[in-house]
Chains A and B, each alone.
Chain A
């Protein structure tokens, strides 16, 4: 076996052109030593061009996580409205703008009915939903209704109550 290989090598060598470059070992890549800090930056740069894992869009829309997400969105909408007016009350009033409840609510009341409805319907729905789903969360916090059945039953209950109390708020 070994002798065969040596013999065939010798044959090959004699067949190839006699060039020194052929026998000189060449390295096709170069390496350099880098400090750990720049190694981290290279790694970070590489990670940045990886594809982003698909997230929200690949999950099946389900009552569980849709209601959870909606609680936060409605809460931010309600508190955001409150913060905007309260902060405006402090920051805009010194510039001579009358931010008093009487004046701003009068201006608001003079707006077109459709514009008012476009704000009041979502706002009423946000409050209703956040209120009822908040109650649902507090029920969970006592350890009740923490089953798949319970989650769906209370979830549909919250949707029903939200519809009713939104209508109620708009009728007032």
Chain B
């Protein structure tokens, strides 16, 4: 008797139309979701499970060198690059001091920018090894580029003059 009751209740639920909340969802959105599912930009990365869902979120130790000082350092370099990218070309003559300042700022600014890309696109949790490799690859590239720039500044025509020559060639 109980089972008869239960089955009739189940039949009633099955026969009923979907609730209004579900019906209100616009059909286009669901279609868009399914369409984008087929056009994946990237395949899923490696799935790494660390600990359990009940573990507390690790709170990093506050460090000004990773926070406000780093932020201020980035802005000072960026701010300095506004006059440094214009002045040497506006002045007309190659000035070794301006060249050195522009070159230093350019290497630091580039390194910080590439480093931000590595941090963003190679998350530590999923790509620990690739991230370490990319960080060291970037460091090696920056040092090599700095050596090359130093040699352009000292043995060649200098940064400003080099850019001028390439642009007007």
Contact = CB atoms under 8 A, between A and B. Distances in A.
Interface of A: 1, 4, 40, 43-45, 47-48, 50-52, 54-58, 72, 75-76, 79, 82-83, 85-91, 100-102, 104-106, 108-109, 116, 120, 131, 134-135, 137-138, 141, 169, 172
Overall SS of chain B's interface? helix
Interface of B: 1, 32-33, 36-37, 39-44, 46-49, 75, 78-79, 81-82, 85, 106, 109-110, 113-114, 116-117, 141-142, 144-149, 151-152, 156-157, 161-162, 165-169
Contacts of B40: 52
16 contacts: A43-B49, A44-B46, A45-B47, A48-B47, A55-B41, A57-B39, A72-B117, A86-B145, A86-B146, A86-B148, A87-B144, A108-B166, A120-B167, A131-B82, A138-B75, A141-B75
Contacts of A47: 44, 47
A11 to B, nearest CB: 15
Nearest to A109: B169
Nearest to B32: A58
Given A1-B1, A76-B117, 8 more contacts: A44-B47, A44-B48, A72-B113, A79-B114, A83-B110, A86-B144, A86-B148, A89-B148
Contact of B169 (A51, A106, A169): A106
A91 B41 contact: no
Q: 6 tightest CB-CB pairs across the interface, nearest first?
A: A109-B169, A54-B36, A86-B148, A79-B110, A89-B148, A86-B145
A101 B144 contact: no
Contacts of B85: 131
